Structure 1
Amino acid sequence: MSLAQLPLRLTTGAFVLNSGIGKLSLSDEDAEGLQQMAANGVPVLADMSPAAFRRFIAFTEIGVGAAQLIPKVPGWLAGTALSAFSAGLLNMYLNTPGMTQEDGVRPSSDGTAVAKDVWMLGAGLSMLVDSTVNTTSRRKKAAKRRVSKIHDAKEQKVEAIHSARDEQQKVLQNAAEAAREERKAARKAARSARKEAHKAA
């Protein structure tokens, strides 16, 4: 969970989760009234029984709210769930008679309670944008780290090769020096042997 998303996820999550829990205790009459409004935005909901709709809307809100509050849920997924949920509410608002003024957008006194849910759409979209930007930024940083590691590894390899060459040259130089000393010692021993032989003769 991005720290930048934390305030949005806590507030929207708590709000939606509490709303979903509250809907579990709706009466069939209240559920039917809410279902009629919801069907204006999502017509397929009209085919449900009030009891089935109550469970559907309650568990949907609980799921969306919980997704905001669970840290392991990625921001893009939480933002998508909240955006889809709030878009459904706004679609219901725009398609329910009496909720908007004559222009079909501005809320009437009856529609203000639903129109304010536009803040959740803004919150969901903000999470999506933040997740996308942060993911891109993290990928760029990770790519830079990989390039830096590869560059460092290459430099270390080059240094190791140079070090090995220097060591090899030292070994060869020492071997050559030792060979020269041995030749000198052999020549000296040979001269000494000739002198001794000469004296003996």
Structure 2
Amino acid sequence: MQVPDLWLVQKAKNGSMAAFETLLSRHSRRVYNLLLRLSGSPTLAEDLTQETFLTAYQRLPDWRGVGALSTWLCGIAVKHHLAARRKIHFTEALDEHEDLAADLSSDPLARYTQHEAKQALDTAINTLPTHYRDVFVLVRVQEMRYREVAELLDIPLGTVQSRLAQASVLLQRALSHSTEGLPQKGTKRHVL
């Protein structure tokens, strides 16, 4: 049975580095993936993940235990990302070397098609204007509630909804162009 986050937080507040390290190992992948999606840069995502957990360690006494710890950590991560974005211009593409799921079909064409579709989606997300990308990643990828996103980004709830809708439209357009020529499920591709 996994020890609850709240118990580990209490231990960490009392000085237990082992408890904080457990929290770090439990939540760092989610924070990193969020920052990778937001920034499009593996290097920056790593740096911001470290900054997020340093800030979390310093502010751990401030966490009231309301809501999930992962949501609080993602909030810190988003704030670090927004601060970094004000300082630098993002040009790196999303990391294309993410492992394919282990349960993929052994059919090489199916693996190729799924990998190409994932790359197309990552590329399309990375080309969204940042205000649409932030909302899309937080709601659709990180599965945060609209209200949480509104509070995190300090925007009205209606703005979250409209940006999400616009991001979806832009992604559909981009993906309809990028998937042309890929074999569709149930169709045969002739090889010369």
TM surpasses 0.5: no
**TM-score, normalising length: structure 2:** 0.27
Q: Comparing both structures, which one devotes a greater share of its residues to helix?
A: 1
**TM-score, normalising length: structure 1:** 0.27
Work out which of the two has the higher radius of gyration on C-alpha atoms and give 1 or 2.
1
